[in-house]
Amino acid sequence: MSKTGQWIAGINAVSSALEHDIEHVREVLVEAGNKNARIVEIEENARRRDVSVRRVSHQALEGIAGGLRHQGVIARYEAAKPMEESELPALIEAAAGKALILVLDGVQDPHNLGACLRSAAAAGVTAVIIPKDKAAPLNATVRKTSAGAADRIPVISVTNLARTLRAIKDAGVWVYGMDGEAPAPIYRTDFTGNVALVMGGEGEGMRRLTREHCDGLVKIPMPGEMESLNVSVATGIALFEAVRQRHG
Pairwise CA distance, residues 242 & 240, whole Å: 5
User: How many CB atoms within 10 Å of residue 105?
Assistant: 26
Pairwise CA distance, residues 60 & 219, whole Å: 51
Is 200 marked within a binding site?
Answer: yes
Count of helix runs (H) and strand runs (E) in the chain: 9, 11
For the stretch 37-46, contacts whose Cβ atoms lie closer than 8 Å and that sit 24 or more positions apart, written own/partner, are: 38/11, 39/11, 39/71, 39/72, 39/73, 41/15, 42/11, 42/14, 42/15, 42/18, 42/73, 45/15, 45/18, 46/18
User: How many CB atoms within 10 Å of residue 137?
Assistant: 12
Is 220 marked within a binding site?
Answer: yes
Strands (DSSP E) found in 61-194: 73-80, 100-105, 127-131, 155-158, 174-178, 184-185
| Residue numbers belonging to the annotated binding site | 200, 220, 229
**Annotated binding-site positions for S-adenosyl-L-methionine:** 200, 220, 229
